Structure 1
């Protein structure tokens, strides 16, 4: 019995003291983790959207003066489809100070939807806001803490602060209250 305890403790010590390799560099004797902080996504019109994660801020270079709603979705998600009319309404109502960017996550098979598939999706549901995809979507998701539930929406003020994160479908009225608060802080 004593041997089992010692073996268990030895294995546990090895597991705890050795870690999985990660992407780290040594510069001047200091260990630095390589973390990607700038991401490029492509919307269905071919426009590049540059998103920067700076500490706890999200900066969308093209819309620095606007409140941003990042909507992480998939084309097969029924709740995502159900929220489209309310997102269309909000984009129309607050167009001067507000921008919705929907970001397409992986399909059920793990692949990202093509731009052509997203154009068809956008047309089918009469979406009036930007829909984006790109190779860096998964890295962006990880950098934001990992998007585990679809839909996930992040409301970002003009200073890049994440004001709210919503998991699942959110009533339009609730989104609008938070958008108005963010507009008041502008």
Structure 2
């Protein structure tokens, strides 16, 4: 028999695993197909350098994730329909695989030919995003945020139907995303 006890002192907050990006920082991203963009940390969020007016949507996903696979073709359609106003950036997360693996087992298989980053930088980028929106729960994928001019936008919570959250979680219908984007474009 043994006894286990807890310390009555206040628990200490654990330090962040990674240093978040700061305003003015540049983040070079390369897609699994070889395209490159530079993100600029601005207004507590991110913009595309030299295209700051374009709305950014980050899709944090995993190639193994069934809902991510199911919504990939719709996201591709969304990107094609909104290319003038929106840049969709997929951030592969929770796994360490090669770009070739992502192309063969996700992009080609599920028609996901939008900008997908599979870089080690994704971890720092995702942790910065989560810190920015003060997301405290365990990250589940797919997880999306939308930014305009570096500011995180309110989007419709698909579970409560309230338009006052900073993220989408789970598989989200294209109609919901399109309504939010149309509203954000008009602002």
TM-score, normalising length from structure 1?
0.73
Distance 1:105 1:179 in 2: 24
Indicate yes or no: 2:104 matched with 1:100.
no
Q: Which residue of 1 aligns with 2:45?
A: 57
Distance 2:59 2:84 in 1: 19
Q: Which residue of 2 aligns with 1:31?
A: none
1:168 maps to which of 164, 167, 170: 170
Structure 1 stretches of at least 4 aligned residues deviating more than 6 Å after TM superposition = 19-23
Indicate yes or no: 2:121 matched with 1:136.
yes
Query: Deviation of residue 48 (structure 1)?
Result: 2.8
Query: Deviation of residue 123 (structure 1)?
Result: 1.6
| Structure with more of its chain in helix, by fraction | 1
Segments of structure 2 that go 5 or more residues without pairing to the other structure are: 1-6, 132-137, 156-166
TM-score, normalising length from structure 2?
0.73
Aligned length: 158
Matches within 5 A, 1:1-150: 12=9, 35-37=20-22, 38=25, 39-61=27-49, 63-107=51-95, 112-120=96-104, 121-145=106-130, 148-150=139-141
Query: Deviation of residue 72 (structure 1)?
Result: 0.6
Deviations 1:138-181 (A, max 9, x none): 11111112671100011112x12111311111111110001101
SS at match of 1:145: helix
| Structure with more of its chain in strand, by fraction | 1
Query: Deviation of residue 128 (structure 1)?
Result: 3.2
Q: In terms of mean alpha carbon deviation, does 165-174 or 124-133 score higher? A: 124-133
Checking the alignment, whether the CA contact within 8 Å between 1:40 and 1:134 is kept in structure 2 is: no
Deviations 1:95-117 (A, max 9, x none): 2222211111122xxxx221111
SS at match of 1:122: helix
SS at match of 2:130: coil
Distance 1:80 1:72 in 2: 9
Bigger CA radius of gyration = 1
**Shift in alpha-carbon separation, 1:51–1:122, aligned structure 2, 3 A:** same
Q: Which residue of 2 aligns with 1:156?
A: 147
